[in-house]
Structure 1
Amino acid sequence: MPYEWSSPPPHKSPDWSLSLWPYRSLLRKDFVIFVGGTIVMFALPLLAVIGSAVLWGLLPFFGLALWGIWFALNVSYKRGEVLEVLTVKGDIANLMRQNADKSHQTWEANRYWITVHLYPTGGPVPNYITMRGGPREVEIGSFLDERERLELYDDLKRALKAT
C-alpha cells in the first residue's frame, strides 16, 4: 500500500501521522537495468552491419529511439515524486504536499472539525477524497488507485473519529 500510518488506526495516541506517495512499478535500479537491456537489444542487430555504411545510417535512429525511451521514463519518474503527509498533533491537523517540482502546499485545520468526503463520481478521478475543515476543501491521495482511495477513505474516517 503506498501509504503508511505512524500507528495503525484507531490511534491510541492523540498524535499521529499519515504519509502517502504514488506507487512506483519501476524503481531507479530497475530503470537503469531496463535502459541497459534496451541498449543491448538495440546493439545486437547492429553487430550484423559493423564495418559497413549501413551502420552509420541506422545508428542515429537507434540513438534517437534510446533517447526517447530514456526521456519518457525519466519524465514519468519525476512526475511521480509527490509526497503528502497528514500530521495530527494536539488540536491541529496539518496536510503538507510536496509536488514533483519540489514546491510545497500546506493546509491546516482544527482536527475536531475535519470532515472527510468521498466523491465516487464527478471528481477528477473516481472515488475522489477530500477533507474539509474551515474555509477550504483539499484533496488527499488523488494519485492512489480507486481501491486504495476507498481503503484510505475508510481509514481516515476511522482515524479522525477515534481522536
Structure 2
Amino acid sequence: MRPISNIVDITNYVMLEYGQPLHAFDYDKIRGKKIIVRRAAEGEAVVTLDGIERVLSADMLVIADKEGSVAIAGVMGGVNSEVSQGTTSILLEAASFNPVSIHYTGRRLQLPSEACMRFERGIRPELTLLALKRATQLIVQLAGGEAAKGVVDVYPGKRDQEPILLSTGEVKTLLGVEVSLD
C-alpha cells in the first residue's frame, strides 16, 4: 500500500487494524447524495481508481448513485467519486459482501485489490460498524474532519454472535501464559 491522501490512508490503516475494508467517496460527486448496492447492468462500464475502464456483467455488484455506478462493490472504487485534494465532504462506506461474489468479480475483471483479498476470505459483519466508527474517529482527530450525525446500517441477516470456547490449556498454548477460571 502506498500513501495516497490523509482520508484514504486512514481507511487503509483501519483496514489493516480491523481487517475490514472501507471506501471513502467524495460526497459532492455522489449524484442524488445517496448510494445503493445493486447488480450491474450487462455491459455497464466503470472507470476504476487505476484508470482502467471495466466492463461489467449482470452478476457483479456495484455501488451506485442515482445516475450510475461509482464503485465495483468490494473490489475498487471509481474515478467519478474519487477523493482528491479538493474534497471537502466524504461518504464512508463499510460493508460485508458475499465472499464468493467478490472472488468471482475480482477474478473475472483481473483486478486484485487489498479489499477484494479480504472480502473473498470472508469478513465478520459485526466489524463494519466498529471499523466505520474508528475511521470516523481518526478523520476527526487527525484530518480535522467533522462527523455528520447518523449512520445508515442495512444489515438484513443479523446473527447472534457465537461464543468462542477455550480451555485454560488452549489459552496457555496460544498466549503462553497460565490463566485461572477465578
TMscore range, shorter length: under 0.3
Give the strand-richer structure, 1 or 2.
1
Give TM-score scaled by structure 2 length. 0.22
Look at both structures and tell me which one has the larger radius of gyration over its CA atoms. Answer: 1
